[in-house]
Amino acid sequence: MMPTPVISIQNISHYYGKGALKKQILFDINLEIYPGEIVIMTGPSGSGKTTLLSLIGGLRSVQEGNLKFLGQELSGATQEQLVGVRRNIGYIFQAHNLLGFLTARQNVQMAVELNEEIPQYEAVTKSQQILSSVGLGERINYYPENLSGGQKQRIAIARALVNSPALVLADEPTAALDKQSGRDVVELMQRLAKDQGTSILLVTHDNRILDIADRILEMEDGRLARDSQSIVQTDNC
């Protein structure tokens, strides 16, 4: 029996603008992502990748179609329900979005404290542990400005994964990094996700990292144009 998909999307369409300016951006998207899958999404700029990611992440309301996160329908969900969903998702963006006035540890710790009612010393330990596992054990008390781009993105990964979310959404996380640092951060995401059973949906233009994916999707003009292995469509009867 198939496990419950982390994400199940049926006939999602999306529009920006109103009246005469209304423009369709996503066309009838169907997609399921399963626990532990690492899915890479590619496609030209403007093809709708970020829009789709923001719908999946509960950052934007569903207009048309159905979208379930761990079986919970997001179409028609209240803001409160969306906040609950966001707690189960880790986000990594192109810009690391760290807070400059907090140290590496404090940036990660803040994510722990937003999500759980745990004693502060445990939040500290948890943050230190995950920073060590991303290779920043010697840098936990550094401020972002004193770290390299790759190191900052590794803090962002630690922050996204520290609560062991069911899903990590990453929008061009290597775009600002050189080749080797880009490679390092995706391998790190891959390792942490496999350790925790987290699913990853990662948008990238970077062909050099495609091999970390279990599955590759391609967006084209708002449509899902290709899916390297649509496991749900396999008929083995």
- Only one residue has tokens 């719908």, namely 55
Closest CA to 60 of 29, 111, 14: 14
Which amino acid, one-letter code, is at 6?
A: V
Give residue number: closest CB to Mg ion: 50
Q: Cβ closer to ligand ADP: 51 or 128?
A: 51
Smallest separation (angstroms) from ligand ADP to the CB of 203: 7
Closest CA to 149 of 189, 187, 101, 94: 94
Stretch that binds Mg ion, among 45-53, 91-99, 126-134, 156-164 (CB under 5 A): 45-53
* Interface with Mg ion, residue 47, by CB under 5 A: no
Closest CA to 103 of 33, 159, 42, 23: 159
Smallest separation (angstroms) from ligand ADP to the CB of 172: 8
**Out of 5, 34, 40, 50, the residue judged to bind ligand ADP by CB under 6 A:** 50
**Out of 6, 9, 37, 49, the residue judged to bind ligand ADP by CB under 6 A:** 49
Distance separating the N- and C-terminal Cα atoms of the chain: 13
Give the DSSP letter string of 190-221.
Answer: HHHHHHHT-EEEEE---GGGGGG-SEEEEEET
Stretch that binds Mg ion, among 14-22, 44-52, 102-110, 218-226 (CB under 5 A): 44-52
Q: Cβ closer to Mg ion: 49 or 159?
A: 49
DSSP code, position 231: G
Query: What does the binding site for ligand ADP look like in residue numbers (CB under 6 A)?
Result: 16, 25, 43, 45-51
